[in-house]
Amino acid sequence: MCKKCFRVLTALNWLLITFLLVSGCGPQTTGSETIVHIEPVGGIYRPLPLPPVNPSKSNHSPTGSKGWIPPRNLENPGRWKGILIHHTATSNGNAAGLDRMHKDNGWDGLGYHFVIDNGHGGKDGQIEVGWRWQEQREGAHCRVRANDNNYWNEHTIGIALVGNFEKTPPTNAQYESLAKLVSFLQDRYDIPRSQIKGHGDVDNTKCPGRLFSFPQFFAHLQRQQNWQTAK
């Protein structure tokens, strides 16, 4: 092979590797990961209290729930048809770091609606509300090229758990927070359990990773919903 061809192929390989690293939970054929630069949690990513129990049954927003219940003039409950769960494919991170990483990838900012931290960049189990949710914008978390109508970004809520679940499982605190968040979203937007999926259920990717356990998550979700019913 000529030296010029070799240099071209090497450059193309590095571009491909860079794309896979930056894209977070895009198609993954290896256990590679990148490290997200950690920034202090603040600004629009200020962590908010966990969602209230059965908020849709109330005539007013409970204290501290403004981030969970979008402004009335923006909210369109009929828009949200499902929930997609992701991992970040990174060992650490938070919403601010992921936001910058996604901007570096040419996006307009954090692609997910919510981020659940793992203790390495934000408190373990802490839920961060992204600007897309606060503004009720479409996600940038799942574009299935074989079906280019962008349904999954337009009509599903993207939740990313910080971690590479090809290597390590989610923490118990992450499972618990995910169950509380999903239960809240199901109740408020009438989302059936059948429409709670992993990224890999609708696209060619391993996300949210082989060590994310849907049976374990659904057990947490059932306990959360039993508790809400008992209340």
**Angle in degrees, CA 187, 191, 194, rounded to 5:** 130
Q: Is the pTM of this model over 0.95?
A: no
Instruction: Count CA atoms within 13 Å of residue 173 on its CB side.
Output: 14
Structure confidence at residue 89 (pLDDT):
93
DSSP label at 204? S
CATH of 43-56+64-230, one of 1.10.357.10, 3.40.80.10, 3.20.20.80, 2.120.10.70: 3.40.80.10
Assign residue 163 a region: left if phi > 0, alpha if psi is -120 to 50, beta otherwise? left
For residue 211, count other CB atoms closer than 10 A to its CB: 14
The domain locations on the chain are 43-56+64-230
Kindly report, residue by residue over 158-174, the tens digit of the pLDDT.
Answer: 999 999 999 999 999 99
Structure confidence at residue 8 (pLDDT):
41
Q: How far apart are CA 29 and CA 25, in angstroms?
A: 11
Please, are residues 54 and 228 in contact by the beta-carbon 8 Å criterion? yes
Structure confidence at residue 60 (pLDDT):
26
Kindly report, residue by residue over 46-78, the tens digit of the pLDDT.
Answer: 333 443 333 333 222 223 344 677 878 888 888
Q: Pick out the chain residues at pLDDT < 50.
A: 3-4, 6-24, 26-32, 34-66
Structure confidence at residue 195 (pLDDT):
96
